[in-house]
Amino acid sequence: MKTKPYHHGDLRTAMIEKGIELANENGTESLSLRKIAADCGVSHAAPYRHFANKEELLTAIKAHITKQFAAVLRESAKDAGETPEGLFCMCCAYVLFFARNPEYFRFIFSRSSGIVVGGSHKYEPYDYYIGFMQRMFDDMDYPQELREKTVLAQWAMIHGLASIAVMSVSNSNELRYWEQLVPEILSNNYLIIK
């Protein structure tokens, strides 16, 4: 079978994005480098220049999503700092990142993908969120005995809101609605930390 020449420039990223799409459609068990190559219009050997096997591709997909997610969270609060205003910005960014990229949310959180929040496992965006909250608590002299519960409640709220947005957004009109709704929800006394 003759494949079309690949003209997209960054084949590795294209294969990662195609892997996310196919994993969300059919599950990671049925994901194959050969199928990704066919869908990207390259030879079946091309993916092996970037990934040794499917497990390496899955690891690259997790890293790809995580890197973007963490960067969005860091950038969102950069100007306001570790303040309630910065938390507001970060919470909006969290929800809207996944509303704009629902396939990322489904890949990372809707299956057993090795992402475990809390405990001894590390996940960079969650670790950033925890550190941000702890430093903000220190500046606010927030009661020590309330910190863990507040962090968990706050994260549950924004993650739940992201989950609802992911289930709700299927076109650009719904995305625009959520882009207006999220700041409104988070600015009208719904945030746990003020």
CA-closest candidate to residue 151, choices 128, 135, 134:
134
| Cα–Cα distance measured from residue 54 to residue 56, given in angstroms and rounded to the nearest whole number | 5
Full domain range(s) for residue 181: 65-187
For 137, the enclosing helix (H) or strand (E) is: helix 124-140
Predicted local confidence at residue 190, as pLDDT: 55
Kindly state whether residues 80 and 14 are assigned to the same domain.
no
Kindly state whether residues 23 and 47 are assigned to the same domain.
yes
Kindly state whether residues 134 and 78 are assigned to the same domain.
yes
Which segments in the chain show pLDDT lower than 50?
Answer: 1-7, 120, 194
Predicted local confidence at residue 3, as pLDDT: 43
Predicted local confidence at residue 121, as pLDDT: 52
Q: In the structure encoding, which two tokens stand for residue 78, read together?
A: 């950069």
Tell me how long the chain is.
Answer: 194
